[in-house]
Structure 1
């Protein structure tokens, strides 16, 4: 009897524990929810689109006109540069070793030119002032020709030296524009080919950035040239940038850049509108996606559809 009661009690205990566990698991889980971002859109009527941050000029791939080993790199990704700033330097010791020799040749030619000039000046004076033929015409012409030839030799020596200096300058690669270094794929000691197709640097034009906005073709007719617009950093409606209209590319193209939303269609065609803006106080990066709202107030349109 006692054994039977023990089994009954143990069974009841198991049932109670099972029911308790089921009730605990069925309690709604607490989820930390954040408020949905709310944009402060300054337009009564607008068209929404997705913008991609682009440089105000096309990316410039910086290569090298000469092949060789990189000796020094003067910049890194993110550096602001001015036109003419050095980017990197190819080892130029082979050319620099020739420079002292050419300088010596210039000095030698200059000394010879000075020597022949003095002889010519003396002979010239003697030839003009001497009535008794202290110097013959032939001797005078020889000294004159030697002086002319020495000047040509000096000029040639200087030209060779300056040509070598120009060649040495080509081994230091400079920025062709004011801009920002986007990428730096070269390090000291690496070998670069002059004909290489891969880029070593990517440079953008200025602190001005462009925004390429994709507008669904169904809303394309609502976009008018000069329309105002504002862009927001995705997920941060407090971070907005006023945009300045640049141009409309009058050609509907397939949408290539996807936002990643589950409801997004891949067969959409879009009108691309280009806006420009100054760099804001918060960081924005080339390639970043932004939420864009374009003023589509129909009262401002001259001819409505």
Structure 2
């Protein structure tokens, strides 16, 4: 009896499921509204343009400072944002071993100086004895053998004096090398700059190998530059000196005019990525550098901006006019 009841209910349950599904489909909204972006993207200020991503950098690009020799860092007297002068200390590496080596080399120089003085004194003595023997008028007073020995002794100590002087030069050179190695452990700023990053702290080991992240990053003072990467497919449309504007990402209403500085004539592989899922990474780009004229433009070094560069329209006439 129960089996027959269950078999009779199955069609009813199936019909009920179809009815629920049909009701859900009929009551669903006909269209899904697109999600609005947090901020509207910037619009191009030119009727014909090249669009590109720009990255802010200091004049002459940021300079990464490394360690000439590996060692434990004992002092970092700077902080990000500091304005520093050329020759100012950036960080110091433990130099106790180098100082001990310098002191040893200094002692070697003193020893070499004493050896030179001793050799010079002995040579003077043998020269005086030779001169005295040669001044004797009676040849029977000094034998020929004795005279010959004295002459050879003078030549021998002349050679010893020359050797002692050479050893002195070598000791002084080793001392100079040791002092230079000691000075290198105090890394100083090569020019007036702003400290952009400090990636080393006292107690950490500073490697002398090439690092992907520099120990200290410096940027020259001055108006910020924007390095724009233009896709190689649009490179033919670019003209040096063309007008350009940059807009902030996150607020397309904030923009500024750019001043053309220079373009690098060698097309390179694209390395600066924006994170867009549709972005191509297998392309090559022409890098063009502009300068931000507005000192109040609220952008930081390393920040990405949207750049629009005025360019000829995409038609065959413009293409033939641009090509040499």
1:84-126 superposed Cα distances (whole Å, 9 cap, x missing partner): 6542111011221233333233223213312322332453355
Instruction: Report deviation, 1:242.
Output: 2.3
Name the structure 1 match of 2:152: 138
1:200 equivalent in alignment to 2:204: no
Q: What is the TM-score normalised by the length of structure 1? A: 0.64
1:53 paired to 2:56: yes
* More strand, by proportion: 1
**Candidates 273, 283, 301, aligned match of 1:286:** 301
Moved more, 75-84 or 105-114: 75-84
Verify the 8 A CA contact 1:207 1:279 in the aligned structure 2. no
Unaligned runs of 5+ in 1: 1-35, 260-264
User: Aligned in 2, Cα 1:266/1:92: closer, same or farther, shift over 3 Å?
Assistant: same
**Paired residue for 1:113, among 104, 111, 116?**
116
Count of residue pairs brought into register by the alignment: 264
Distance in 2 separating the partners of 1:62 and 1:192? 11
Given the superposition, is the C-alpha separation of residues 139 and 217 from structure 1 closer, same or farther in structure 2, using an over 3 Å criterion?
Answer: closer
Cα distance, 1:168 vs. partner?
1.4
Q: 2:169: which partner in 1?
A: 155
**Post-superposition offset of 1:212:** 3.6
Conserved 8 A contact 1:254-1:268: no
Cα distance in 1, alignment partners of residues 41 and 279 from structure 2? 28
Please give the residue correspondences for 1:1-305 in structure 2 after superposition, counting only pairs within 5 Å: 46-55=49-58, 60-80=63-83, 85-124=88-127, 127-128=130-131, 130-132=134-136, 136-175=150-189, 179-195=193-209, 197=211, 199-204=214-219, 207=222, 209-213=224-228, 222-233=237-248, 235=251, 240-244=256-260, 246-247=262-263, 256-257=273-274, 266=278, 274-277=288-291, 280-282=294-296, 284-296=299-311, 303=321
For residues 294 and 57 of structure 1, the distance between their equivalents in structure 2, rounded to whole angstroms, comes to 22
User: Structure 1 residues 127, 50: CA separation in 2 closer, same or farther (over 3 Å shift)?
Assistant: same
How far residue 186 of structure 1 moved from its aligned partner, in angstroms, is: 0.8
Aligned equivalents of 1:143 and 1:221: distance in 2?
A: 78
| Distance change (3 Å), C-alpha of 1:238 and 1:40 | farther
DSSP-derived class of the 2:135 partner: coil
Contact 2:223 2:293 in 1 (8 A): yes
The answer on whether the counterparts of 2:44 and 2:308 sit within 8 Å (CA) in structure 1 is: no
The alignment yields a C-alpha RMSD, in angstroms, of 4.4
Mapped to 2, the partners of 1:182 and 1:287 lie a distance apart of 10
User: Unmatched 5+ residue regions in structure 2?
Assistant: 1-39, 137-141
User: Which is further off, 123-132 or 159-168?
Assistant: 123-132
